[in-house]
């Protein structure tokens, strides 16, 4: 089961439907959301995604994948920002719309592009929970994305190699 949890916002059903269509597990939205304030870094003026992951992992049941969805700006200490983060072969992942929005780059809102980007990054982070690492196939959703342009270029599906690894991973 994939469980969506809002972090500072409510998780949305459209993402739920998209994930259910792309992954081999049923999906649901948790009614309860998570307040992200405990992960706020005054020094960075961002939220530390690893702390959010730890909190999400505590909510996981055996075999569940928890995906936290938020609108806040995320970071890990060695990077300026991250679109999301996940526990490799673990139960928790988090993704943020903050840097997926066109407005972040001084452009007008584009809801369709935001929806596509969110799906790609959610799939990518959930792929890590299945044990997948970054893929060298630039069209695979598991390709690494260090900038928004890379998110736009990659596809929203797993390549054949990554798909095979997911099918053998423990669900």
Cα Rg of the chain, angstroms = 15
Lookup result for tokens 């943020």: 96
DSSP bridge pairs for 92: 66
Angle at 99 between CA 98 and CA 104, to 5 degrees: 90
Write the burial class of residue 27 (CB in 10 Å: 0-12 exposed, 13-18 middle, 19+ buried).
buried
* 154-160 CB contacts, 8 Å cutoff, 24+ apart: 154/120, 155/120, 156/22, 156/116, 156/119, 156/120, 156/123, 157/22, 157/123, 158/123, 158/127, 158/132, 159/135
Q: What's the CA gap between 154 and 164, in Å, rounded? A: 19
Q: Which of 18, 42, 125, 149 is catalytic?
A: 125
Q: Is 103 a catalytic residue?
A: no
Residues involved in catalysis: 125
């Amino acid at each position: 089961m994939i469980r969506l949890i809002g972090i500072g916002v409510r998780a949305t059903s459209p993402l739920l439907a998209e994930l259910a269509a792309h992954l081999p597990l049923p999906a649901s939205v948790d009614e309860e959301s998570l307040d992200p304030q405990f992960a706020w870094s005054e020094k960075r003026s961002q939220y530390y995604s690893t702390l959010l992951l730890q909190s999400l992992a505590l909510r996981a049941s055996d075999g569940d994948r928890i995906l936290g969805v938020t609108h806040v700006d995320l970071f890990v200490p060695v990077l300026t920002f991250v679109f999301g983060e996940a526990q490799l072969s673990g139960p928790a992942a988090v993704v943020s719309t903050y840097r997926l929005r066109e407005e972040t780059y001084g452009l007008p809102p584009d809801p369709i592009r935001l929806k596509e980007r969110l799906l790609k990054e959610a799939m990518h982070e959930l792929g890590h929970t299945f044990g997948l690492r970054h893929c060298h196939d630039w069209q695979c959703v598991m390709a690494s994305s260090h900038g928004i342009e890379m998110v736009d270029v990659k596809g929203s599906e797993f390549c054949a190699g990554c798909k095979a690894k997911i099918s053998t991973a423990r669900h």
